[in-house]
Amino acid sequence: MEESVWMWTLHETMPSSKEVGHQIIEQLLQALTQAGWDGSDLFHVQMAAEEAMINAVTHGNQESEQLVVEVEFRVSKQRAYLRFRDQGAGFCPDELPDPTDEEHLEKTHGRGVYLIMHMMSEVSYNDCGNEVTMVKNRQLESADS
Amino acid sequence: MTERRRITVVTIGDLATVRFNDKKIVDSASIEEMGAELMSLVDKDKMKHILLNFEGVEFLSSAALNKLILIDKKVKQAGGNLRLCCLREEIKEVFTITRLDRVFDIRKTEKEALKAFGVDS
């Protein structure tokens, strides 16, 4: 994604560790806050980042110490770009059951991708299903200030 | 006295009113700990009803939602009720998007929730 006004970027590989993932997302949140993000926009990006990270580490890489997750974040005042790529077998997001269906409503899994889809402006998966790219465009009027 | 790290509990008879010690319920280990502490309210302390007051909670992940579903099932199995109150707008939205607002009894204020339990605050 080309945008000349990125205020902060991060591109690195992390081990398949949720704790390390939480720490990297904390860096993203600090960058967003410094760029003026707050309220529901900030909440939505945090939700998407946490869910995508957990999916990559646990479902993708099965928390294997031999596998890593590639993480790329970019932040501007109006837009956030997030990309996670794991080394797992991938999955097809279209084949996931709808967690809001009555039969799935009280299941204790399967809401992460659904929340990502609802909270980000753009979400796409690669053909292998092991990489998710997400963009959030700020909605609040304060984004202009 | 039970030592709890993730929640603070005040009991009113067989009702446990719970506040969360963490602003963000996101760290995987903390969520496990929180879940165990909530479960022990029913299993060990024999509380029948639970009120979860989310005042001060800024974020929770789907892993935390999963724990709440387990607690809800546990409380219902014991013949009690679980209610939630004081959710900030963004967290309420999570329950709405996932339609878990149909599973959980969510009240706006603690006073309203206590009243639903038959407690006059």
Q: What's the pLDDT tens digit per position in A122-141? A: 999 999 999 999 999 998 65
How many residues are recorded in chain B? 121
Q: How far is B51 from chain A (nearest CA, A)?
A: 19
pLDDT at A64: 97
Contact residues on chain B for A107, CB-CB shorter than 8 A: 69
pLDDT at B114: 97
User: In the predicted model, is pLDDT for residue A2 greater than 70?
Assistant: no
Among residues of chain A, what percentage have pLDDT more than 90? 88
For residue A8, which amino acid is it? Answer: W
Q: Which of A3, A7, A137 is nearest to A75 (CA)?
A: A7
Which SS3 state, helix, strand or coil, does residue A16 take?
A: coil
pLDDT at B120: 80
Residue A73: phi, psi to the nearest 5? -125, 145
Among residues of chain B, what percentage have pLDDT more than 90? 93
Where do runs of H (alpha helix) occur along chain A? 18-34, 39-54, 112-119
Please indicate whether, in this complex, the C-beta atoms of A50 and B90 are within 8 angstroms of each other.
no
Measured CA to CA, the distance from residue A120 to residue B33 in angstroms comes to 30
Measured CA to CA, the distance from residue B74 to residue B55 in angstroms comes to 23
Quote the strand ranges of chain A, DSSP E: 8-15, 68-75, 79-85, 122-125, 131-137
User: In the predicted model, is pLDDT for residue A7 greater than 70?
Assistant: yes
Contact residues on chain B for A111, CB-CB shorter than 8 A: 62, 65-66, 98
**Count of helix runs (H) and strand runs (E) in chain A:** 3, 5
Measured CA to CA, the distance from residue A114 to residue A108 in angstroms comes to 14
* B6-15 confidence digits (pLDDT tens): 999 999 999 9
Encoded tokens for A43: 């909440």
* B56-71 confidence digits (pLDDT tens): 999 999 999 999 999 9
pLDDT at B121: 67
pLDDT at A4: 62
Q: Which residues of A touch B (CB under 8 A)?
A: 18-19, 22, 39-40, 43-44, 46-47, 50-51, 54, 99-100, 105-109, 111-112, 114-115, 118-119
Q: Which domains occur in chain B, in start order? A: 7-114 (3.30.750.24)
Evaluate whether B120 touches B114 at the Cβ level (below 8 Å). yes
Please indicate whether, in this complex, the C-beta atoms of B62 and A112 are within 8 angstroms of each other.
yes
Give the mean model confidence (pLDDT) for residues A80-104: 94
pLDDT at A141: 57
Measured CA to CA, the distance from residue A137 to residue A143 in angstroms comes to 9
Give the mean model confidence (pLDDT) for residues A32-55: 97
User: In the predicted model, is pLDDT for residue B50 greater than 70?
Assistant: yes
Q: How far is A34 from chain B (nearest CA, A)?
A: 18
Give the mean model confidence (pLDDT) for residues A81-96: 94
Evaluate whether A89 touches A67 at the Cβ level (below 8 Å). no
Evaluate whether B48 touches B82 at the Cβ level (below 8 Å). no
- Is residue B28 very low, low, confident or very high in pLDDT (cuts 50, 70, 90)? confident
Fold of A8-144: Heat Shock Protein 90 (3.30.565)
User: In the predicted model, is pLDDT for residue A143 greater than 60?
Assistant: no
Average per-residue pLDDT in chain A?
93
* Apex A75 CA angle, A71 and A81, nearest 5: 50
Whether chain A has a CB inside 8 Å of the CB on B76: the answer is no
Evaluate whether A111 touches B65 at the Cβ level (below 8 Å). yes
DSSP B44: T
Measured CA to CA, the distance from residue A139 to residue A123 in angstroms comes to 16
Residue of A nearest to B98 (CA): A100
Give the mean model confidence (pLDDT) for residues A86-105: 93
pLDDT at B54: 98
Q: How far is B55 from chain A (nearest CA, A)?
A: 16
* Apex A70 CA angle, A110 and A43, nearest 5: 50
pLDDT at A5: 87
Pairing mode, if any, of strands A131-137 and A79-85? antiparallel
User: In the predicted model, is pLDDT for residue A145 greater than 50?
Assistant: no
Range in A3-12, A39-48, A76-85, A112-121 with the lowest mean pLDDT: A3-12
Give the mean model confidence (pLDDT) for residues B84-102: 97
Q: Which of B37, B10, B1 is nearest to B22 (CA)?
A: B37
Q: Where are the domains of chain A?
A: 8-144
Residue of A nearest to B91 (CA): A43
Encoded tokens for A44: 């939505």
Q: How far is B99 from chain A (nearest CA, A)?
A: 6
